[in-house]
Structure 1
Amino acid sequence: MTLTIWVDDWQMQCCGDTFRPGDVVSWQLLEVDPEDYADTVGSDRAAAIDFCEEHHGSEEGKPLTPLRVVTVTEVHCRYEAPSGSTDRVLYPVPGSTELVPVVEADGWAKTRPRARFTGYLVTAERVTDEADE
């Protein structure tokens, strides 16, 4: 069974380890509310996200899950202040998502015109047998 996992750009930039398809990783997986990602990746893609990867201790003691990475896709989108807003908070602009399949995730991405790198969509399979590693 393949899982879809969201990996935040800032988590990778802070202290994530580079990974690529075929690698076995051990990640702390947290359940997500797909609606949290709908503006960033679109409702259909958001509905497919099973977990997010977390390694900053929000769930101390939660076991790591061994996974084999299948695909890695950068997610870029445009950010703007909502129309009529007086604050300076920027939000993802629905429908502006750009997906870029990549062969390696290191937390950094090539700058794209009018879109900001926000994270990765990773498909992975659980590793159930130590011989698989």
Structure 2
Amino acid sequence: MDLVVWVDDWQMQCCGDPFGVGSRVSWKLGEPDRDWLATVLGDVRVDKAEDHHLVPADTPVTEAVVTAISAVHCAYAPKPGATSPTMYAVEGSAVLSPVESAERWTKNLGDRKFVGYLVHLRTS
């Protein structure tokens, strides 16, 4: 079975282990923040989210092989007409860049902030 998994930037930076295309991973998978991902990615398929912190301790581990990785960057701006300086992901601003490996820290891409990885997995 093939899965598309979201890996948040903060999850990687906190305690993620670098991985690459062809790597075997053992991850706990939970439900992604579908509303936020839809804002950033539009209709890009995301099945699960890799999670070190927010899933129950008894969540089973998924064993899989990484078949593709994309670094995801998006723009942030205040909401139109807002008086608050709070920044939000700009709808449809995602740039997906194929990469061979995922590291703990990925640089921003111009005015777009690195927000995570889309990882394609093949499970047995």
Structure 2 residue 50 is matched with structure 1 residue 49: no
Distance 2:54 2:33 in 1: 19
1:38 maps to 2:38? yes
Q: Which residue of 2 aligns with 1:77?
A: 74
Query: Which residue of 102, 112, 115 corresponds with 1:115?
Result: 112
Instruction: Assess, with a 3 A threshold, how the Cα gap between structure 1 residues 58 and 2 changes in structure 2: closer, same or farther.
Output: closer
- Counterpart CA distance in 1 for 2:36 and 2:59 is 22
- Give the superposition deviation at 1:61: 1.2
* SS of the residue 1:28 aligns to: strand
Alignment coverage as a number of residue pairs = 124
Higher Rg: 1
**CA distances 1:25-83 after superposition (whole Å, capped 9, x unpaired):** 100011335333111112x11xx100000011531111111011000100000011101
- Which ranges in structure 1 are unaligned for 5 or more consecutive residues? 129-133
CA displacement at 1:16 relative to structure 2? 0.3
CA distance in structure 2 between the partners assigned to 1:73 and 1:51 by the alignment: 15
CA RMSD of aligned residues (A): 1.4
Contact 2:73–2:108 (CA<8 Å) still a contact in 1? no
Amino acid at match of 2:85: R
Q: Give 5+ residue unaligned stretches, structure 2.
A: none
Greater fraction of residues in strand? 2
TM-score calculated relative to the size of structure 2: 0.92
State the match for 2:92 in structure 1: 95
Code of the residue aligned with 1:19 in structure 2: it is F
